[in-house]
Structure 1
Amino acid sequence: MSRGKEWCCVLVVLPDSSAGGGYPEIVGPIEKTLGSQVTVRRGQSAGEYVHELGPTIDCALVLSDDDELVELLVEASNGVPVVVYGEGRADGVEKVIEPDEGVERLLNCLSAAIAADQRESELVEANAKLTALSEHASAITGCESVSEVCEETLAAAVDALAFTFCTVALVEDDRIVPRASTLAPDDYRSCHVSEGIAGRTYRTGKTQLVDDIALDDDTLFSEARRSTVSVPFGPYGVIQVVSNSPNAFDERDAEFLEILADYTAEALSRLDREAALRQERDRLRAFFDSHPVPVVSVEEVTAPGDRVRCETNHAYERIFPKQCNHVSVFVEEVFPTNAERRLFSDQLRAESPSTAVVERKTSSGAFEAFQLTVVPVPASGPTGSAYGVYTHADDSSPIVELS
């Protein structure tokens, strides 16, 4: 979750010798006007506090003309802006406001310093999250199963984006079914796509940022959950994060989840494509094994390159004697004619079939003309592959389409 106004903190630094409870005429307006949490420290202890808890502080205000104290704060600040209310002129301070300029001028200066510090903190936080997300992206897109994609997505939401309560759900038939979650079972029940904030997210295809779940008529969450961000990932499902506090998320949180959702959708889309290709390859393989005419399968071992893996069916081996399956050989070692070599070399990564007439010696010892149709097979990786179908050139029967 991004830092918001409730995390605004001002450290008021007093000299060791000061009396009283910390300049109430200044501390009070800071708390009231800026809505800031104010912490008061004195002297040396203020430097130690800033050094240890600097990331939690938006601004340090020094109510002192002690240059040594100001220098101590600047040295320990580690990026925390330091404002001086006094007449000191130490290097490295954000601003020096002299007392005769008034408390209102001081408040304006503090407000500007806090806003600048929060913008910088948000930028640092955003860059850190983007870096962490990019590291998870390779793990998500490299998953080999749907379950792995869901688990890696959940890990990215928790580890990279620091969301405590998260669920990754898939649409199965007409139901949204949680597949990975850090929530208690009562909060990640499956639901129909017409139900809940998850259903609304899926139906609309739009991110839902809900500041107060109790006011949302569609909610299916328990009463303990008060706010949520719900993000669709394509046609596949929904990622949801929730909090027990209202207004816990902002647009930046939603944007990070949308980036994560894109990685998840792409990974699942790749798995769909690979499943379709496997199905097509299985169909082609059945055709390959049973077809009564010679058929040869050629697949590149690496791309680009001339080395291939070659397999032939029974008809090929029967009609063309002394031909056998070849593994990791050059194209010219597989095919005896230039026409075959050129056709397969050109068509392994083509988009449509191509034909040529070739002359081959058969088991009878005679040379016969064959029409060779080379059909490229759609590939998911960098290597190309194709099937070659041989029919007699004078055969009027149609060539069987493979794709």
Structure 2
Amino acid sequence: MDVLCVDGDPDSFERTAAGLERELADVTLHPASTADRALELLAAEPIECVVSVYELPDRDGVDLLSSVRAEYGSLPFVLAPRAGSERIAAAAVAAGVTGYVPSDAPEDRSTAIAARVVEAVGRHDAHTAADRDRQLVALHEASAALITATTREEVAEVAVEAVSDIHGLVASTVYLYDEEANVVEPTASTEAALELSWDTGEPPTYGPGESIVWRAFERGEAERVGNVPADPDAANPETTIRSQLTVPLDEYGVLVTGSHAPNAFDERDVTLGRILAGNVVAALEQVDRRRELARRNERLDEFASVVGHDLRNPLSVASGRLDLARADVDPDSPAKEHLEAAKYALDRIETLIDDLLRLAREATEEPDLEPIRLSELVDHCRGAVDTDGATLRVATDRSIYADESRIRQCFENLIRNSVEHGSTGSRTASGDDVERAGDDVTVTVGELADGSGIYIEDDGPGIDPERREQIFDAGYSTSHEGTGFGLRIVERIVESHGWEIAAAESETGGARFEITGVGFVDDAE
């Protein structure tokens, strides 16, 4: 324990020091003969308690106590006058003394002082621990609230309330950076911050070199100022705010909180501020991602509208006219072959439009989850996919949570891929298509051994390892009949559920798709 012992009388000091060293284990005494020297030591040493007499050469002990309270808050302070009185005791209590030892204490004076020191430091530590618990609770609550914030303004509102709760103060503001104007603007403030003497009734906007706020933003470092009016970058030297903690929010801006007491913030406050700032930055990044996603979805909606309406109409007209032309042309006419090629091209366009619209839907709509049994899903695929004699097996009786229409599309595409590419001889080791030589492929659906998801595999020739990453790319296909969007749609469906998919090799060397992160339905449900 580091104790500052303030006494201008050498003999009195020696007696007090001897008693404290006798009564307190591992105490380190820092002697000061004047109040001014005591304040110097407080600024330089990690003092945990001040013990002072009333009678000092430069001022009295109550004056020193008042200075300590103004500069160091609730630091334990024990006053032990050599000749006390009720007037001194009353003044000490009014100034916020932690412990008082009257001159006529019944026990030994040094024993009484030591007891008051232990008591004062213990109360202070308990109070500090309670404050820390409160701060951690406030930080946790703020983190939870930030996760659900949907706008920058909402994030800023949560942040100012949180920083005030964490530090036990009420004057807080979040400034967000306006890149176009090159300024930081107040986005959210507590009532106490708004009540400060601003000319406009709210915190001002700051540009380069105009304030402590801008300085911290420009440097990108948290900063605590113990005497704001004396700071050369103080925007308002007449402010009633004495202490200010400014924490950058990366490129987004800064978080500011102030106190009317000088030197109100310590390193713990800075650390808590940085933690909160990190959470605020994460929330702002999430808001930006959502905003960008909303813009992308809007563009996709416009694209889907064009594809679904403006392209389908002329396509329908072309298909109708083509059907009339095909009916009028002699089957043996050379034009018949050209018309059939045109029909094939128009059908391909129709298929591509369907696939593109599915991709747009997967990118813009949230899945509606419900329990779905895998065996029933495979039964659906037997009727929806031309299996061409292939065998479909289910190696599990589990159910998963998924969007029914989307997971059906996902399984249809995967099973169709296995049927079309997985039959014996239908795919070479390089992935090139050759003429089908059989329809004996078996497609199996089961649960992964580690319980992390499901698999769909076949016993065909498999996929070249070098091409397993490419197969999910839009437009990639090894088949002249394929659009190249089937597996891309599968990947989008999987991602929309928050899952992951990867291509692998089955035990028989065939193609295997593993979907992880799947939520299984509890068998007891």
Same fold (TM over 0.5): yes
Q: Does the C-alpha gap of structure 1 residues 205 and 129 become closer, same or farther in structure 2, counting only changes over 3 Å? A: same
Name structure 1 gaps, 5 residues minimum. 13-22, 41-55, 65-84, 87-97, 308-326, 360-367, 387-403
> CA separation in 1, counterparts of 2:414 and 2:496?
27
1:272 to 285, 288, 294: 288
Q: Does the C-alpha gap of structure 1 residues 37 and 136 become closer, same or farther in structure 2, counting only changes over 3 Å? A: farther
Q: Residue 125 of structure 2 corresponds to which residue in structure 1?
A: 119
Q: Residue 132 of structure 1 corresponds to which residue in structure 2?
A: 138
Q: Deviations over 1:25-59 (max 9, x none)?
A: 3758xx99xxx98449xxxxxxxxxxxxxxx8855
State the Cα distance separating 1:207 from its structure 2 match: 1.0
> CA separation in 2, counterparts of 1:260 and 1:337?
46
State the Cα distance separating 1:124 from its structure 2 match: 1.4
Q: Does the C-alpha gap of structure 1 residues 250 and 11 become closer, same or farther in structure 2, counting only changes over 3 Å? A: closer
State the Cα distance separating 1:262 from its structure 2 match: 1.9
> CA separation in 2, counterparts of 1:172 and 1:57?
48
Rg larger in structure: 2
3-state secondary structure, aligned to 2:265: coil
> CA separation in 2, counterparts of 1:213 and 1:281?
48
State the Cα distance separating 1:139 from its structure 2 match: 1.4
> CA separation in 2, counterparts of 1:382 and 1:112?
60
Are 2:399 and 1:332 equivalent residues in the alignment? Answer: no
Q: Which has the higher helix share?
A: 2
Are 2:150 and 1:144 equivalent residues in the alignment? Answer: yes
Q: Does the C-alpha gap of structure 1 residues 241 and 351 become closer, same or farther in structure 2, counting only changes over 3 Å? A: farther
> CA separation in 1, counterparts of 2:172 and 2:494?
36
1:301 to 367, 382, 393: 367
Question: Higher relative contact order at CA 8 Å, sep ≥6: structure 1 or structure 2?
Answer: 1
State the Cα distance separating 1:227 from its structure 2 match: 2.2
> CA separation in 2, counterparts of 1:380 and 1:169?
36
Q: Which has the higher strand share?
A: 1
State the Cα distance separating 1:140 from its structure 2 match: 2.0
Q: Deviations over 1:174-217 (max 9, x none)?
A: 10100112233347110114321111111111111111112211
Q: Residue 262 of structure 1 corresponds to which residue in structure 2?
A: 278
Identical pairs, percent: 21
State the Cα distance separating 1:377 from its structure 2 match: 5.3
> CA separation in 1, counterparts of 2:204 and 2:228?
17
Q: Superposed, which structure 2 residues align to 1:12-23 within 5 Å?
A: none
Q: Residue 215 of structure 1 corresponds to which residue in structure 2?
A: 230
Residues matched between the structures, number: 291
State the Cα distance separating 1:8 from its structure 2 match: 4.9
Q: Which residue identity is paired with 1:180? A: A
State the Cα distance separating 1:145 from its structure 2 match: 0.8
Q: Which residue identity is paired with 2:74? A: W
Name structure 2 gaps, 5 residues minimum. 1-68, 308-348, 374-402, 420-453, 457-467, 502-525
> CA separation in 1, counterparts of 2:479 and 2:209?
61
State the Cα distance separating 1:157 from its structure 2 match: 2.4
> CA separation in 2, counterparts of 1:144 and 1:158?
21
State the Cα distance separating 1:236 from its structure 2 match: 0.7
State the Cα distance separating 1:287 from its structure 2 match: 4.4
Q: Does the C-alpha gap of structure 1 residues 346 and 216 become closer, same or farther in structure 2, counting only changes over 3 Å? A: farther
> CA separation in 2, counterparts of 1:171 and 1:247?
28
Question: What TM-score comes out, normalization by structure 2 length?
Answer: 0.46
Q: Superposed, which structure 2 residues align to 1:114-263 within 5 Å?
A: 114-173=120-179, 174-181=182-189, 182-183=193-194, 184=196, 185-186=198-199, 188-224=203-239, 225-263=241-279
Whether the 8 Å contact between 1:227 and 1:247 is mirrored in structure 2 is: yes
3-state secondary structure, aligned to 1:150: helix
> CA separation in 2, counterparts of 1:284 and 1:193?
40
3-state secondary structure, aligned to 2:251: coil
Whether the 8 Å contact between 1:207 and 1:229 is mirrored in structure 2 is: yes
What RMSD in Å do the two structures reach over aligned CA positions?
4.5
Q: Deviations over 1:305-345 (max 9, x none)?
A: 879xxxxxxxxxxxxxxxxxxx84263367755445779x9
Are 2:23 and 1:7 equivalent residues in the alignment? Answer: no
Q: Which residue identity is paired with 1:144? A: T
3-state secondary structure, aligned to 1:118: helix
More displaced stretch, 104-113 vs 259-268: 104-113
> CA separation in 1, counterparts of 2:93 and 2:132?
27
Q: Which residue identity is paired with 2:367? A: V
Q: Does the C-alpha gap of structure 1 residues 305 and 205 become closer, same or farther in structure 2, counting only changes over 3 Å? A: farther
Q: Superposed, which structure 2 residues align to 1:386-401 within 5 Å?
A: none
More displaced stretch, 233-242 vs 177-186: 177-186
3-state secondary structure, aligned to 2:234: coil
State the Cα distance separating 1:346 from its structure 2 match: 8.2
3-state secondary structure, aligned to 1:235: helix
